[in-house]
């Protein structure tokens, strides 16, 4: 960030891009959707988290069964992710994660989904999330004080792959 003083005001220029590095990949298994139905906010579907794994340079382990993605499809067609679940590192540390985000489909993706096809090609959608971690004080406490962004892809109807990037 550059700062310069111009007259009586301070002019700051923000960076044009963020410096992100991939720190964690999650392979999350999900169950079939349980349709809550149409709500005042849109169509609500709950996807149970059934397990999985995660890996990165600093930590790896299991995605624990339990938790869910309480997915909302808004009236404008945008999907809103709200997933809450737990991770267990290979060294025995329990980590809670809440992942919120949005899923947008292009016209081809909307047509494929409407015809009952899922997953759809990665080129037909964008899905990004913002994870927040909760962990006991100790070795992985840095997860709570760092900012992460995630890219979500759907390789199959029962699998979600999430790349988590640390903002530096």
Tens digit of each residue's pLDDT (9 = 90 or more) over 136-160: 999 999 999 999 999 999 999 999 9
Average pLDDT over residues 75-80: 95
CATH number for the domain whose boundaries are 17-167 = 2.40.160.20
- Is the whole model's pTM more than 0.85, yes or no? yes
| Plot region of 52 (φ>0 → left; ψ -120 to 50 → alpha; else → beta) | left
């Amino acid at each position: 960030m550059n700062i310069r003083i111009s007259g009586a005001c301070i002019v700051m220029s923000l960076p044009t891009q963020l410096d992100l590095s991939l720190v964690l990949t999650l392979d999350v298994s999900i169950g079939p959707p349980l349709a809550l139905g149409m709500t005042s906010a849109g169509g609500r579907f709950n996807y149970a988290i059934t397990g999985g794994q995660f890996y990165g340079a600093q930590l790896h382990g299991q995605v624990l069964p339990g938790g869910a993605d309480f997915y909302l499809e808004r009236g404008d067609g945008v999907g809103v992710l709200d997933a809450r679940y737990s991770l267990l590192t290979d060294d025995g540390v329990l980590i809670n994660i809440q992942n919120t985000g949005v899923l947008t489909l292009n016209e081809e993706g909307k047509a494929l989904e409407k015809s009952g096809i899922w997953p759809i090609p990665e080129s037909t959608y964008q899905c990004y999330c913002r994870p927040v971690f909760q962990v006991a004080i100790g070795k992985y406490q840095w997860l709570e004080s760092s900012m992460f962004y995630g890219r979500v892809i759907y390789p199959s109807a029962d699998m979600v792959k999430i790349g988590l990037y640390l903002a530096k």
